[in-house]
Amino acid sequence: MKKRCFLLTAFVLLLFPFLTTAQDFSENNDGWTKGWTSFAPNKVDYPEADEKLPNVISNHTYLTNDSVYLMSGDVYVTPGASLTIQEGTIIRCDYENPANLIVSKGAKLIAIGSKAYPIVFTSSKASKSRNSGDWGGITIAGSGKVNTVSGNGIIEGNFNPQYSVYGGNMPDEETTILRYLRIEFSGNTAKRKKGTSGLSLYGIGTTSIIEDIMVSYSGQDSYNIHGGKNSIRNLISLKAQKNDYHISEGFKGTLSSIIAVRHPYINSPQGSYAIEVDGYNKELGYIRPNTVTDVTISNATLVNLSDKTNYQHTSAAIFASNSALTYIHNSKISGFSDVVKFDKSFTSLAVMQKAFMMDNSFFNIHGEGVDSSNKTINNTLDILKYNRFTKSFVEVANLFSDPNNSISPKFKLKQSLNNYMVMQ
């Protein structure tokens, strides 16, 4: 980290009263990841499919775990229908005719796995030959609120227009129920110029349940959330090419206990961030300033597996654009160039401070901390006050207990949080 990063830093190891209640990142707090995750999905030998899903699901349909299913091409769950998936079910997703599951507005996906028997969507390729973007992804359209001028939109990917509308006036809708779900090698762009993400949520309602989900090796974003309102928790993104979490179009809610594991050599030419928060869609406009995206993120672990030989390939951990509002709490950020990057919509330090808040958190970066597109704004490091940080950049293997473990990586700090400096 460059020396001028510390012009606002003093009283090394000084504890503020509110910091005494901060999460101790040297403790284990990732127990929720045990038993259902897979950090080496290319090595798993899944059974071959013995039943093919229809491309239009217009009735209530139940997938049982005594069959392995092939999903090929675009599969639509149409309005009024539901797709329910039993715990332990495996869906192999075609790479030759890239598969997509589109749950249209008025339909429902109920995929409830368990810790012992998660539901898996994965590539149809054999083990050790799977790649990012082998197939499309899962897209769910709801009737919750979005902040576009019209109050709705068309899901990305050039799908059947009849099943592509999202948004409405049902903020409390139970759009979907997703638990203990793995999505592997999604994000295909061969079939569509605008590829689909691992899990795309459009206009989800507050009574939806979205938790304990892992998206691995997505060729696009891992999670793409457009509008709606919900409290989402226990999400993992592993080595996505684009963003791990992209939040936009007026989403209001929380993401808690989330993990993003990136690699400095896995990036998109358009830019890749652990979290991108977009206040509104510039093409569709927005209703009022108070409808911009407003998200609270707590207990997040955002890690780029960088060391001193490759850290120059990393970007900021978080990108804030189009006046988005973001609050980061009890989180740790490591291996990136900066904590946050702002676009030109953040026109002054006061605007930044109102739009972006971070507290009780820890960061280990190699840049200056805050990257602003408006280079004339001074004292931007004030935004990171009252968070702990490393005095100089620390390689991932020296900072965490076992970050490169391919079975179950551990991102527990080797040293107690109180050994690090406080930005003030």
For the chain, what is the domain count? 1
* The token pair that represents 56 in the structure block: 């239009």
State which amino acid sits at residue 104. Answer: S
pLDDT at 12 over 50: no
Q: pLDDT band for 418, please (50, 70, 90 cuts).
A: confident
Helix (H) or strand (E) holding 63: strand 61-63
Q: Is 105 exposed, middle or buried (0-12, 13-18, 19+ CB in 10 A)?
A: buried
DSSP label at 96? T
Q: Which of 378, 419, 415, 384 is nearest to 398 (CA)?
A: 415
pLDDT at 1 over 80: no
Residue with tokens 């990171």: 384
pLDDT at 21 over 50: no
The 10s digit of each residue's pLDDT in 188-242 is 988 777 779 999 999 999 999 999 999 999 999 999 999 999 999 999 999 999 9
Pairing of strands 421-422, 119-123: unpaired
The 10s digit of each residue's pLDDT in 76-111 is 999 999 999 999 999 999 999 999 999 999 999 999
- Residue 351, number of CB atoms within 10 A of its CB: 15
The mean pLDDT value for 44-70 works out to: 98
pLDDT of residue 30: 79
pLDDT at 8 over 80: no
The mean pLDDT value for 247-258 works out to: 98
pLDDT at 4 over 80: no
Q: Tell me the percentage of the chain whose pLDDT exceeds 70.
A: 93
Cα 94 to the center of its chain, rounded Å: 24
The 10s digit of each residue's pLDDT in 322-373 is 999 999 999 999 999 999 999 999 999 999 999 999 999 999 999 999 999 9
* The token pair that represents 149 in the structure block: 């001028």
The 10s digit of each residue's pLDDT in 378-413 is 999 999 999 999 999 999 999 999 999 988 899 999
Q: pLDDT band for 27, please (50, 70, 90 cuts).
A: low
* The token pair that represents 338 in the structure block: 């900066």
Q: pLDDT band for 112, please (50, 70, 90 cuts).
A: very high
Say how far apart CA 180 and CA 408 lie, in whole Å: 16
Say how far apart CA 72 and CA 81 lie, in whole Å: 19
What backbone phi and psi angles, to 5 degrees, belong to 391? -65, -35
Q: pLDDT band for 287, please (50, 70, 90 cuts).
A: confident
What backbone phi and psi angles, to 5 degrees, belong to 43? -95, -5
85 lies in which domain range? 3-422
pLDDT of residue 24: 56
By the 8 A CB rule, do 143 and 227 touch? no
By the 8 A CB rule, do 351 and 381 touch? no
Q: pLDDT band for 424, please (50, 70, 90 cuts).
A: confident
pLDDT of residue 97: 96
pLDDT at 2 over 70: no
Burial 307-337 (b: 16+ CB within 10 A, else e): eeeebeebbbbbbbbbbbbbebbbbbbbbbb
End-to-end Cα separation, the chain, in angstroms: 17
The 10s digit of each residue's pLDDT in 298-320 is 999 999 999 999 999 999 999 99
Q: What is the rounded average pLDDT for all residues in the chain?
A: 92
What DSSP letter does each residue of 218-272 carry, written as one string?
Answer: -SS-SEEEEEEEEEEEEEEEES-SS-SEEEETT-EEEEEEEEEEE-TT---TT--
pLDDT at 172 over 60: yes
DSSP label at 397? H
pLDDT of residue 28: 53
pLDDT at 14 over 70: no
Residue with tokens 């993400």: 197
Helix, strand, coil in percent for the chain, rounding step 5 = 10, 40, 50
